[in-house]
Amino acid sequence: MNCSISGEVPEEPVVSIKSGLLYEKRLIERHISDYGKCPVTGEELTMDDIVPVKTGKIVKPRSLTAASIPGMLGMFQNEWDALMLSNFALEQQLHTARQELSHALYQHDAACRVIARLKKERDEARSLLAQAERQAPLPASAATADVSALSNGKRAAESEDVGPGGKRMRPGVSDSIIAELTECNATLSQQRKKRQIPPTLVPIDALERYTQLSSHPLHKTNKPGITSIDINLSKDIVATGGVDSNAVLFNRTSGEILSTLSGHSKKVTSVKFVASNDVFLSGSADKTVRIWQRSEEGNYDCRHILKDHTAEVQAVTVHATNNYFVTASLDTTWCFYDLSAGLCLTQVEDPSNSMGYTSAAFHPDGLILGTGTTGATVRIWDVKSRGNVANFDGHTGAVTAISFSENGYFLATAAHDGVKLWDLRKLKNFRSFELYDQDTPTNSVDFDHSGSYLAIAGSDIRVYQVGSVKAEWNCIKTLPDLSGTGRATSVKFGPDARYLAVGSMDRNLRIFGLPEDDASTES
């Protein structure tokens, strides 16, 4: 007797008391658990309706095909054929699955590219919107104020005063401003006589152990290069200007980017903090200067866009009062601005000079301005009279950087041929450093705030101990340019010379200082 489900002789036969049909026990149990019905009649069926059939234990005879060698060979052949057919079917299924997976991955990659493009378009739209909001005119109620009328860096066409030759008329530097500058000069000069080197200044033996502490990718990869660095010494915030037309404010302590300032259309050539308040200045090759003001939320908003120059703005320097600043441009002029109003008080142009300005810096006392030119000349100006009082010649190539020492006596200038030191009391060059080969210009020079050290950047970074006119200026540390570009473009001392911030022609800001273990031991 055979099972009603499998058609084979059951090993554990059972019978239904309702239909009288014979089943294999394991098959009927599974069918009842799944459906609860008889597989043949379809009537309701439970395990209580199933009765086992008792049979004697017998040995099942071999099938006829397995009873002889030819039969067994035929059986093996059939099994082999079935195995090959099954393997062929599996290979076909695998090939189909691979094709489907490849197509799915292609669709996923295409979707990711579309999403990335949409995100980029969204970010660009947001940037343009933010830029448009910053440049939008002020409300009518504020437009009546003089400051607001000048908020975009130039007067409205109908109110603009034009002098002979079509040149714009400037308000000029008033007697009250000159008095303010003179008072600031007297105060700082008096303080300088009493000033001593702070005990917190990093000693020479510690500076000799400086090494790279960190590297921070602040600017875009498609337009790498840091052109300018400044440091807010009181807050330990580093600002960088980049070839990607952005200025970035970076908190060195936390290692976080505080703000990325977008708006310039060409590379940012100069960045400066205004120490007394949350104001930041940026000059650009797009011929403009922007004044940024920190908001209560911590963001920086563009308060003014100054468009007084007709060529690239190469340098921005802030006066010691923190109320005025100067910009220098390749258009052969420099402008003196009122910071709070964003107003150009005077634009100085020397008819005898046809050289554009490539660098500028105020003397620590504020009554002297130094400018470097494309013609290798350093020009010294009296700020009160705006007159050229001295010229320093001797460099080769454009003067790329200027730095006054805090002692008020020394001026360091960098150009293609190296660095020259000038004695402002005798108006002469007393020392020169020719550090690199003729194809490598010196790009940056900076005295620390105490006037004890001088940093120079070119194909590497070198730190000198400040001496005197007669005493030697010894090189106490040489740091390699780890950017791989061979061009360190800017260098700046941190507070008490505790670290050096270095920018190169890659997109990374590098911090050099004492390793943590050495720093803790030193402190």
Identify which has the larger pLDDT, 157 or 378: 378
Query: Which tokens belong to 319?
Result: 């006066």
Token pair listed for 73: 């060979």
| pLDDT over 80 at 132, yes or no | no
428 vs 482: which has the higher pLDDT? 428
- Check residue 112 and give its pLDDT: 93
**What number is the average pLDDT over the span 276-300?**
89
What's the pLDDT score for residue 198? 86
Average pLDDT for 392-397: 90
Q: Give dist(CA 288, CA 342) in Å, integer.
A: 12
pLDDT at position 278: 84
pLDDT for residue 63 is more than 70: no
Contact between 390 and 399 (Cβ < 8 Å): no
Between the alpha carbon of residue 69 and those of residues 59, 62, 77, 82, 476, the distances in Å are 21, 13, 12, 20, 97
**Does 146 have pLDDT greater than 70?**
no
**pLDDT for the residue 135:** 64
Report which of 308, 368, 371 is spatially closest to residue 337, judged by C-alpha positions. Answer: 308
**Euclidean distance between the first and the last CA atom of the chain, given in angstroms as a whole number:** 99
Residues 6+ apart with CB under 8 A from 256: 250
Mean pLDDT computed over 287-314: 91
Across 250-269, average pLDDT: 91
- pLDDT over threshold 80, residue 116: yes
| Full-model pTM | 0.68
Distance CA 375, CA 434 (A): 19
